Structure 1
Amino acid sequence: MFYINKCCFLVLICFCIANITVKGQNANKAGIIGIVIDAETDYPIPLAGVAIDGTTKITCTDSQGKFFLATTGLSTILRVSCIGYETKIVTIYSTSSVVKIKLSPSSTSLNEIVIEAHKIKYRNKNNPAVSFIDSVVAHKGRNRNENFDFLQYEKYEKVQFALSNISAELKQKKSLKKIRFVFDNVDTTKQPGQEVIPFYIKETLSDFYYRKSPKSTNEIVKADKMVSFNGYLNNDGVTAYLNYLYQDINIYDNNVSFLTNQFLSPISNSSPIFYRYYLTDTVDIEETKCAKLFFAPRNKTDMLFQGYLFITLDGDYAVKKIEMEVNKNINLNWVKNVKIVQDFDNIQKQGWILSNDELSVNFGINQNGLGIFGQRSVLYKKHHINEPLTDNVFKTTSPRIEKVQKSDAYWEQNRLVQLSKTEKDIYTTMDSLQHIPAFKRTMNIIRIAFASFHDFGNFEIGPISTFYSYNQVEGSKLKFGGRTTTKFSKKINFDGHLAFGFKDEKFKYNIGTTYSFTPNSIYDFPVKSLRVNYQVNTEIPGQELYFMQEGSALMSLKRGLDDKLFYNKSFKIDYLNEFENHFSFSLGYNYTRQSQGGSINFNKVNYLSTDNSIPYINISEVNMSIRYAPHEQFYQGKLYREPVPNKYPIIQLKYTNGSKIIGNDYNYNRFKLSIYKRFYPSIIGYTSVIWEVEKTFGKVPFPLLNIHNANQTYVYQPTAYNQMNFLEFVSDKFTSLNVDHCFNGFIFNKIPLIKKLALREMVTFKVLYGGLSKSNNPEYQADLFKFPTDKNNNPTTFALGNTPYVEVGVGISNIFKFIRIDFVKRLTYLDNPDVSDFGVLMMFKFDI
């Protein structure tokens, strides 16, 4: 429901019937030309409804208060109405008159009448509200900040989190007795009528620079202050994730990134297809006359906003203010409600620029339970428009967080708005909390559960998830390992593990060290490090895990035969150099003595002689790679970097050289190019695409060919072929395409009952096309290793032929908020032995 003034009911009718504007009329056509003005101020009144009484002929005034209404009668009775004014009946006695109609302001409450929107048939055609929003869209180019040649301003950002809906019983729990002082710092201003307990605050003061041609932007952080949970959370990672969660909302963009999802802007080029619009009032905001438009989704389950737009009536059709929220029916996890408010100012009379940005979100599992209130407030000041900027401004990078930590005195002097007492106390309260033993124990348990490491100060053990695993060759495998922490040293790190397989009765071990050439630890971006490692370990050929630890208990359960294994004795040395612009390169050397395991045998094709059985091969390689990931953000975890997705590509090129000169048994060169990109096709979700191409030059046996990434576990691997067996396909050249699209509930949200489950649908498509040259095919080369076979001497490894390997799938995610289940169908090479053409796999996936 929405509320309007009773006296302006005709205006609402106007929206659903026809609109004839002054600009569209021929001056010679018979009709009434007029202007509607305020009786007290003589200001023109835009969006007033003008109707011929007793007929369906109706129009609305334009931004200058003018109107044209075709008529042929000698006298015409007009009914003129507008929200906020008394309706007026006027008799016009000539069809050629230019009339001036004055409306008196009304004292009637806007809440006098309630009209249910579904009772009115909404149309875009001849709808003045849609015509008005079309004008706003048409003027976007001149109103957005990118229209300036140069722009700079100072930006102050404040992000806060607080506990909400805290019950009296929770506060009185005996287990919380030692931290009860946290509940003393109460804020009653964030949510009317409700207390919240702040526990996190982050402030950032920066300078922003923009240049139109060549297009360049840069934001230089001058000061940064936050509640730190050092030892438990990575501060850079927290910052990256908050930036992803609370991205800048540009209402002039067609798509708005919000809470990890893509929403269609209410003033996007296609917005009238998905939104309903209603002109409700004219208001003055800071002496600027604006039209107030209510907008709402046509389908309440789509990723769309609803709220009010305030558009200037000075001919610019610029957004002066916007207030919006999201509908409770859309598929957002953990979100109770949202409020977004943005204010724009006409700076130096040169253009409308965002001056204030407020975003508030209530997170929680259910509407009435304990929740988390998050708020992001941004102020923009000290604007400079079209003042030329040098190239050096855009080459400067922000210093690291620890280098922009400023004193309290600096913040008191430079904050664009002062903190309240409650906000100031967050820093001291959280610092005190982190010294409480009960809090430390709780955080350690959480860290073990999510990071799989247990901290003992200078040393930590883990990954705990890999302490037990199983495969058919090694049997049950116990493993124990650990590494030093930054408390031991930031510059140098030691790590290692020891493992034992109870079936093959062999020990495996690893020892390594990493040295940082920067003052920061080996985990802190940008990394500049050297790593040396020696290990005796096993390798499942073709298994490359996606953000999972090799040898974890979760990956032990597999389908089909799991009897192929390499035993490796390896020495590796790797140098990594990352740059602030997210370009990086690496150089490395690897020596591996690789021997056969399980059903794998290093037998040449003419293997009747025992001389043709090779116990091991020597692999000696140098490799180098370059990687470019513009605007990349990630959370630095204990095991690996967890990327924060964005719209920018990740490009990586790798070169590997094996040579007999450096101890390799073979001579070869290998090149590999991979490109990752995520696309955001507006409200229908997002698409992740990976394209790869690789070529090996030289004559090599199958262990040195490309063994394609397979998966025989029941855990879905996004980058693997989930119905391909380990070591099933090899090639010396290939190209592949991996497409994964998430609809974000776009389809399920329209199905009754199903939409209440908040499920999200996925589709996947993976294709691999490649081949094996005769020089690397043991069918033509008797001195190469025979491809592996089963116990009946049937081949289990194949070269890719003219037919590509293809598998497709559909999936359902957001089951219980964190489970994804995929149904994968293999379409080609179904005659290969022991293959599964259909599988059901699962993975854990947390999304908002």
Structure 2
Amino acid sequence: MIRNYLFLFLFLICTQSFAQFVVKGKVTDSATGDPIPFASVLLKGSTVGISTDFEGNYILEARSLTDSITVSYLGYITAVKALQQVAEQTVNFQLKPSDFEMEAFVFEAGENPAFEVIRQAVDRKKDFDKREIPAYQTKNYTKIEIDIDHVSEEFTRRKAVQKVTAVLDSIKQLTNDEGEKILPVFFSETLSKYYFRSNPELRKEVVEKTKVTGVGITDGSTTSQITGSAFQEYNFYRNWLSIVGKEFVSPIADGWKQFYDYDLLDSVLVGKDSCYLLKVYPLREQDLAFTGTIWINKETYALKQVDLTIPKEANLNFIERIKIQQEMTPTSAGPLIPTKTRVQIKIGQITPKTAGLLAKFYMSADSIQIGEPQPKSFFNQQVTLSPGYDDATEEFWKDNRQDILTEEEIAVLQMVDTLKRIPIVRFFSEGLKFFGTGYLDVGKIDLGPWPGFFNVNNIEGVRLGMGFRTNIKFSPKWLFSGYMGYGFKDEELKYTASVTRILDRMHWTSISLSTQKEIDQVGLEISSLEGNSVFLAASRFGTLRRPYFSRLHKLNFQREFFKGFLMYSDMSFLKFDPLYDFYYLEKGTGEYKSSFETTEAKFGLRYGRDEVILINDNQRTSLGPLRWPIFDLSYAKGMRWLGGDISYSKLNLYIYQRLNVGMFGVSRYEFDAAKVFGEVPYPIMKNHLGNETLFYTSAAFNTMNFNEFASDQYASLRYRHYFEGFLLNKVPLVKKLKWRGVANANILFGSVNQKNIDNAPTVDPDGNPIETFGRLDPNIPYVELGYGIENIFKFLRIDFFHRITYLDNPGAKPFAVKISGQFIL
């Protein structure tokens, strides 16, 4: 018995002498409510401390407590809170952002010690870049929240806004650190499997489950394709990272010394790894570069984690801040894969009477598997939706989401669900969607497009029109569309009707039949300007140039065999009925003809190795290529024996590419070459698009007149370069305006076969002169060079063009000024 009491006494003494105090809590950003990882938590007046994890949580254990605890982190005001002398307590912190000041670090002798750390990290990039893994797959969880921020009193006094806030008063209000209300408008969660192979470099995301709720969101299938992790790629082992359509240089880019300076702050323990802690900041505050901290493993020189910000001084519009936090984990193959990434994009108020926007993205990856690559055919579509992707219950999400929702996020969900049902909100959100897409969603059909509702020109006078198309709620396999317009001057009815059958959505396969009676213009055909709706709509006002009635019937088939490789073919029957003085000499008879018909079969191949394609409702939408060019090769045959008046062949090659040229900006080029074989009237040839309007368009030669040149064989190169502030950022007074330089170079070689010159008479049968077409000298190219400034008042762009050749042509203008408006970041 005595021995038992003795053991109990010794146990109590030992436990008392080694008793620990536990302080735990969470550190968040007071302005956004988001966690702050990697913050330093320290018992004041001691050396006992710890860092917060990626979710901002900390658990600090100590044998004794001081009177207070302090939390500090770069870019935030240090906070201190009092402690109680109790065994366990919870102390949460909300840190307020501070103005980040970039300091100049002076080293008395020798090289900056941080440079050697960065040099070693850059030299070993290939060892840790995940693109070096032949193939891997992960299970990903993605969460996106979008809020209306800076909801000021002036904004809430608006009548429409008051109707909204009155309804929301019963819900827990979310505010930032200044007490201003935040209105959440979108929230999504996605569970997916992500696949990657390096040779060739291909990616695919299979969305297994997704939950999307948002104001104005009507088509969950389209939205679900872009809310996963496929569009949240942030790899700091690339030299350049694409964010919001801009290219930002990585702190460990190959040319790091041209963009960054560094300071070696400390040597710290992150998990089990000893790491260098470095502060990075751009040499020029307006460059598209990061500022913040990075952790580099002392043994391997691999990135461990990053906390970086793109400050509001950078040459960006409307954006006050972009913040990226990332934690990386080594794989069994060696390279690193980001396992947790958090991104915040804060967009400021355009005017004091408007509101700002705050977008938050969170991605986590687990179940990393390194293995054999999936076959290339597996990657045909970059994003696919699993059956039943949107039918998960709340119980499913509770069991399967990798991170539980916070109280604030639960309040966000409740507010978004309420907000999207408010009539005035639905009215404005549908109105914006109508303006942006051209169509108004009315149940199973969409009405539009609105640019075709009203036009005025010299042929039709006042023209009114209305159209529709069915959407995916009508059918995921059938698409019907139609349009009718009437001109009160020519008293003619115009129409378009089509039916499309989608045979396969995975290997996109469709067949369609269409018929049309419409007014077109030579060189301004609707079919060639469908992607330039503003220029097309403007061209249908005022005086129509070389107008003609087009009666067109077409049968089209297309199929994507593997990712990026699309085959298309069509059979078309066209009647060209001119509304201006037009004649051509018919081959063989030499008779004057004022109209003609063609029967044309066309076959084409299109290949975009990394072109991003979304299935938008019942249509394919291209988001463009990332790095590789898009090739389009087609062959068309006009056949007299199937009812056409003319026999001919056309061969056409088109190439488009976007080029990132590093610190010099971004370039885009389009190469277009074609040849027409056979004797044809000039409307069948290529009538090069000129631009006599005040407005700039990349689709035209901006110093060329309308219908100035036509060719039956040609090659053109159109090159556009965006300096992204590279030049003007260095001009002391101009750089504050955030203007950006642009440059253009357009070159065209072309010619016309003598037979096609001869069949275009210069006089009509009565001997009256008629207008035909201009020709290029095969040895002299058409050249125009341009330069300009964009981002004037964050909207306006002015281009100055010089015409270099063919200055003696009638009406030729050696110099032109073009303006355009654009909302760019």
Same fold (TM over 0.5): yes
Instruction: State the match for 2:82 in structure 1.
Output: none
Instruction: State the match for 2:628 in structure 1.
Output: 648
In the TM superposition, what is the alpha-carbon distance from 1:690 to its structure 2 partner? Answer: 0.7
Instruction: State the match for 1:762 in structure 2.
Output: 742
Instruction: State the match for 2:209 in structure 1.
Output: 223
Q: Is the 8 A contact 1:605 1:785 kept in 2?
A: no
Q: Is the 8 A contact 1:702 1:787 kept in 2?
A: no
In the TM superposition, what is the alpha-carbon distance from 1:821 to its structure 2 partner? Answer: 2.5
Structure 1: 5+ residue runs without aligned partners? 1-39, 42-113
1:632 aligns with 2:615: no
1:821 aligns with 2:802: no
User: Equivalent residues in 2 for 1:405-424 (5 A)?
Assistant: 405-408=390-393, 409-424=395-410
Code of the residue aligned with 1:718 in structure 2: it is S
Instruction: State the match for 2:520 in structure 1.
Output: 538
- CA 1:748 to 1:540, structure 2 compared with 1: closer, same or farther past 3 Å? same
- CA 1:788 to 1:269, structure 2 compared with 1: closer, same or farther past 3 Å? farther
- CA 1:800 to 1:405, structure 2 compared with 1: closer, same or farther past 3 Å? farther
Task: Identify the match of residue 283 of structure 1 among 252, 264, 268.
Answer: 268
1:593 aligns with 2:580: no
User: Equivalent residues in 2 for 1:379-458 (5 A)?
Assistant: 379-385=364-370, 387-389=371-373, 391=375, 394-395=378-379, 398-400=383-385, 403-408=388-393, 409-457=395-443
Distance in 2 separating the partners of 1:122 and 1:233: 58
Q: Is the 8 A contact 1:320 1:345 kept in 2?
A: yes
Task: Identify the match of residue 615 of structure 1 among 585, 589, 594.
Answer: 594
Task: Identify the match of residue 784 of structure 2 among 807, 817, 821.
Answer: 807
Describe the superposition over 1:365-418 as per-residue Cα deviations: whole angstroms up to 9, x where unpaired: 359873111111111212234x44554895585533774224123322221112
User: Equivalent residues in 2 for 1:69-218 (5 A)?
Assistant: 126-167=111-152, 170=155, 175-176=160-161, 178-180=163-165, 181-182=167-168, 196-212=182-198, 216-218=202-204
- CA 1:579 to 1:401, structure 2 compared with 1: closer, same or farther past 3 Å? farther
Quick check: 387-396 or 490-499, which moved more? 387-396
Code of the residue aligned with 2:602 in structure 1: it is N
Distance in 2 separating the partners of 1:640 and 1:715: 29
Q: Is the 8 A contact 1:796 1:832 kept in 2?
A: no
Code of the residue aligned with 1:467 in structure 2: it is F
In the TM superposition, what is the alpha-carbon distance from 1:542 to its structure 2 partner? Answer: 4.6
In the TM superposition, what is the alpha-carbon distance from 1:508 to its structure 2 partner? Answer: 4.2
- CA 1:656 to 1:389, structure 2 compared with 1: closer, same or farther past 3 Å? closer
Quick check: 141-150 or 372-381, which moved more? 141-150
Task: Identify the match of residue 485 of structure 2 among 495, 498, 507.
Answer: 498
Distance in 2 separating the partners of 1:430 and 1:811: 43
SS of the equivalent of 2:755 reads: helix
SS of the equivalent of 2:114 reads: helix
Distance in 2 separating the partners of 1:123 and 1:594: 80
In the TM superposition, what is the alpha-carbon distance from 1:671 to its structure 2 partner? Answer: 0.9
SS of the equivalent of 2:654 reads: strand
Distance in 2 separating the partners of 1:321 and 1:690: 40
Describe the superposition over 1:739-761 as per-residue Cα deviations: whole angstroms up to 9, x where unpaired: 11111122222223322322222
In the TM superposition, what is the alpha-carbon distance from 1:546 to its structure 2 partner? Answer: 6.3
SS of the equivalent of 1:798 reads: coil
1:353 aligns with 2:312: no
Q: Is the 8 A contact 1:157 1:379 kept in 2?
A: yes
In the TM superposition, what is the alpha-carbon distance from 1:655 to its structure 2 partner? Answer: 1.4
- CA 1:547 to 1:475, structure 2 compared with 1: closer, same or farther past 3 Å? same
Code of the residue aligned with 1:750 in structure 2: it is K
Quick check: 446-455 or 414-423, which moved more? 446-455
Code of the residue aligned with 1:383 in structure 2: it is I
Describe the superposition over 1:756-777 as per-residue Cα deviations: whole angstroms up to 9, x where unpaired: 3222221011111122223323
Distance in 1 separating the partners of 2:109 and 2:440: 61
1:567 aligns with 2:553: no
Q: Is the 8 A contact 1:691 1:736 kept in 2?
A: yes
Distance in 1 separating the partners of 2:694 and 2:619: 22
Task: Identify the match of residue 462 of structure 1 among 448, 454, 461.
Answer: 448
Distance in 2 separating the partners of 1:219 and 1:122: 48
Q: Is the 8 A contact 1:672 1:695 kept in 2?
A: yes
Task: Identify the match of residue 538 of structure 2 among 550, 554, 564.
Answer: 554
Instruction: State the match for 2:824 in structure 1.
Output: 847
Distance in 1 separating the partners of 2:377 and 2:386: 20
Q: Is the 8 A contact 1:185 1:197 kept in 2?
A: no
Instruction: State the match for 2:638 in structure 1.
Output: 658
Q: TM-score, normalised by structure 1?
A: 0.76
Distance in 2 separating the partners of 1:815 and 1:243: 35
In the TM superposition, what is the alpha-carbon distance from 1:634 to its structure 2 partner? Answer: 5.8
Q: Is the 8 A contact 2:548 2:578 kept in 1?
A: yes
SS of the equivalent of 1:165 reads: strand
Distance in 1 separating the partners of 2:508 and 2:163: 40
Code of the residue aligned with 1:594 in structure 2: it is F
SS of the equivalent of 1:321 reads: strand
Task: Identify the match of residue 517 of structure 1 among 499, 502, 516.
Answer: 502
User: Equivalent residues in 2 for 1:316-327 (5 A)?
Assistant: 316-327=300-311
Distance in 2 separating the partners of 1:547 and 1:123: 59
Describe the superposition over 1:624-651 as per-residue Cα deviations: whole angstroms up to 9, x where unpaired: 2222233433675999947356323222
- CA 1:350 to 1:405, structure 2 compared with 1: closer, same or farther past 3 Å? same
Instruction: State the match for 2:33 in structure 1.
Output: none
Q: Is the 8 A contact 1:186 1:198 kept in 2?
A: no
Distance in 2 separating the partners of 1:248 and 1:835: 48
SS of the equivalent of 1:449 reads: helix
Percent of aligned pairs sharing the same letter: 24
Task: Identify the match of residue 775 of structure 1 among 755, 778, 781.
Answer: 755
SS of the equivalent of 1:718 reads: coil
Q: TM-score, normalised by structure 2?
A: 0.78
Quick check: 711-720 or 332-341, which moved more? 711-720
In the TM superposition, what is the alpha-carbon distance from 1:215 to its structure 2 partner? Answer: 5.2
Instruction: State the match for 2:54 in structure 1.
Output: none
| Number of residue equivalences | 719
Quick check: 812-821 or 131-140, which moved more? 812-821
Q: Is the 8 A contact 1:584 1:626 kept in 2?
A: yes
Code of the residue aligned with 1:438 in structure 2: it is I
Q: Is the 8 A contact 1:622 1:657 kept in 2?
A: yes
Instruction: State the match for 2:682 in structure 1.
Output: 702
Distance in 2 separating the partners of 1:788 and 1:282: 88
Structure 2: 5+ residue runs without aligned partners? 1-46, 49-98
In the TM superposition, what is the alpha-carbon distance from 1:719 to its structure 2 partner? Answer: 2.3
In the TM superposition, what is the alpha-carbon distance from 1:285 to its structure 2 partner? Answer: 1.3
Distance in 2 separating the partners of 1:442 and 1:116: 41
In the TM superposition, what is the alpha-carbon distance from 1:194 to its structure 2 partner? Answer: 6.9
Describe the superposition over 1:172-200 as per-residue Cα deviations: whole angstroms up to 9, x where unpaired: 76544553344665576987987633221
SS of the equivalent of 1:767 reads: strand
In the TM superposition, what is the alpha-carbon distance from 1:308 to its structure 2 partner? Answer: 1.1
In the TM superposition, what is the alpha-carbon distance from 1:467 to its structure 2 partner? Answer: 3.4
Code of the residue aligned with 2:399 in structure 1: it is Q
Instruction: State the match for 1:45 in structure 2.
Output: none
Describe the superposition over 1:570-604 as per-residue Cα deviations: whole angstroms up to 9, x where unpaired: 22232333467243232222222213333x42144
- CA 1:184 to 1:124, structure 2 compared with 1: closer, same or farther past 3 Å? farther
SS of the equivalent of 1:817 reads: coil
Distance in 2 separating the partners of 1:200 and 1:231: 9
Q: Is the 8 A contact 2:148 2:182 kept in 1?
A: yes
Describe the superposition over 1:813-846 as per-residue Cα deviations: whole angstroms up to 9, x where unpaired: 2233333332222211111112223222233323
Distance in 2 separating the partners of 1:117 and 1:370: 29
